[in-house]
Amino acid sequence: MSRVALVTGGTRGIGAAISKAMKAAGYKVAANYGGNDEAAQKFKSETGIPVFKWDVSSYEACAEGIKKVEAEVGPIEVLVNNAGITRDSMFHRMKPEQWTQVINTNLGSLFNMCRPLIEGMRARKFGRIITISSVNGQKGQMGQTNYSASKAGELGFTKALAQESARSGITVNAICPGYTNTEMVQAVPKEVLEKNILPQIPIGRLGEPEEVARCVVFLASDDAGLMTGSTITINGGQYCI
């Protein structure tokens, strides 16, 4: 029987690529999304992947959404925490809501999604939790103290939960993409991309969402059973650790 995978923020950008790759690898996939109904329905019609709408910054919404997914698709064995937002601002101008929105959505969602699922994974003695962090959670980024803090927090969460869950057959890993060819990056002015962003990347190009997705498929597989508490860096050499 195919394993069930849930991808948050799974209908656009990197999340959409992950959802498609997981389906191609034989998983039964459910894709969560937060607000863009038109994009979600288009994704559903094109891929046949069921979509479920809820706000990952709300614990109650996550608990209810997970119940619905498990009732319709099956017990969730693979969770991909991909949903995230930016509210960029220099710190001395940052408003409290810009901080809390990003922290609650990016970092708070890890608790909100993992807590309702972890007991079922422990009972079944199997689980895969994969979080999409960011190169800016590793190195920091001007104008993104909120985003960088949330993404760095995701790495600490991953390392701690991996240690707690290892004996229950659950692996917990993170992926840190660099600049990736998504709608968000495509919206950057061409001159900014060519003069300020690409020169930072030794291989001289953006990453593709499908390249991140292939890493997720590997971490979800039985072949990655020894990997837990790890961070995969996929940024073209922009930042090496």
Long-range contacts of 52-57 (CB under 8 A, 24+ apart): 56/8, 56/9, 56/32, 56/83, 56/105, 56/109, 56/112, 56/113, 57/101, 57/104, 57/105, 57/108, 57/109, 57/112
Give yes or no: 179 in active site. no
Q: What angle do CA 218, 86, 34 make, to 5 degrees?
A: 70
* Distance, CA of 137 to CA of 107 (rounded, Å): 11
Which DSSP state fits 180? B
Residue pair 103/145 in contact (Cβ under 8 Å)? The answer is: no
Cα–Cα distances (Å) from 52 to 56, 73, 209, 221, in that order, read: 11, 11, 21, 24
The residue from 27, 33, 147, 179 that is catalytic is 147
Count CB neighbours of 69 within 10 A: 21
Please give the structure tokens belonging to residue 19.
């959802």
Which residues are annotated as catalytic? 147
